[in-house]
Amino acid sequence: MSDQNVDKGKRGFLIGATGVVGGIAAAATALPFAGSMLPSERAKAAGAPVEVDISKLEPGEMKIVEWRGKPVWIVNRTKEMLEGITKSEANVSDPKSNEPLQPEYAKNEYRSIKPEIAVIEGVCSHLGCSPQFKSVEAKGEMGMEWNGGFFCPCHGSKFDFAGRVFAGSPAPVNLRVPPYKFVGDGKVIIGDDSKEA
């Protein structure tokens, strides 16, 4: 996925090594013997939350981790990227996130708990390709209304940095925001938004 490093300058992409949360590690090690696991243990291993260290994720950087077999993007959005989301409001088809594709706590302009940290499933809502990061500097390629976001090369769908789909894209709805929560300042857990620490 290093070819996603499409943008010049300091924006980079980190393919994350992810930690497995809590007691799930034992189940993961037991995977070669999955046949002998109880159905509930297998389900738990397949859907286990992943813990991601974002303490070194600089503004403008994106980290990609895998959760339930899907890429999940974690982007530390800069002020410029957040402004781009506001500017894209008129061009996206569901600006208020009325479709239930995010947890209630992410039903806001930035579709996130903290404005700067985006957590979005990197799976196109058209036919499932993984869109690519395109900075605001890609206006020449993406069109003058482009304020940064993601582009799906499969059939040309465009999304802003909140994962909201541009009207007229083949993708019918916004990208999905998974359940997640922060643990302290430097960690996010994807796949678990329970209140317990």
Examine the residue annotation and report whether 155 is marked as an active-site residue of this protein.
Answer: yes
In terms of CB distance, is 156 or 186 closer to ligand FES?
A: 156
Distances (CA, A) of 66 to 19, 63, 70, 123: 11, 10, 5, 11
Where do runs of H (alpha helix) occur along the chain? 24-29, 39-46, 79-88, 139-142
β 132-134/180-183 pair status: unpaired
In terms of CB distance, is 131 or 178 closer to ligand FES?
A: 131
Minimum gap (Å) between residue 158 Cβ and ligand FES: 9
170 binds ligand FES (CB under 6 A): yes
Q: Which of 43, 56, 155, 186 is catalytic?
A: 155
Which of 74, 82, 124, 190 touches ligand FES by CB under 6 A? Answer: 124
In whole angstroms, what is the distance from residue 150 CA to residue 13 CA?
A: 14
171 binds ligand FES (CB under 6 A): yes
For ligand FES (CB under 6 A), the number of binding residues is: 12
In terms of CB distance, is 88 or 157 closer to ligand FES?
A: 157
Which of 26, 43, 46, 127 touches ligand FES by CB under 6 A? Answer: 127
Q: Is 79 helix (H, G, I), strand (E, B) or coil?
A: helix
97 binds ligand FES (CB under 6 A): no
Chain centre distance of CA 44? 21
176 binds ligand FES (CB under 6 A): no
Give the residue carrying structure tokens 């090594």. Answer: 17
Minimum gap (Å) between residue 97 Cβ and ligand FES: 19
Burial class (CB in 10 A: 0-12, 13-18, 19+), 139: middle
Which of 63, 126, 134, 181 touches ligand FES by CB under 6 A? Answer: 126
Cα dihedral 79, 85, 157, 63 sign: positive
Residues recognised as catalytic: 155
Q: Which residues in this chain contact ligand FES in the complex, by CB under 6 A?
A: 124, 126-129, 152, 154-157, 170-171
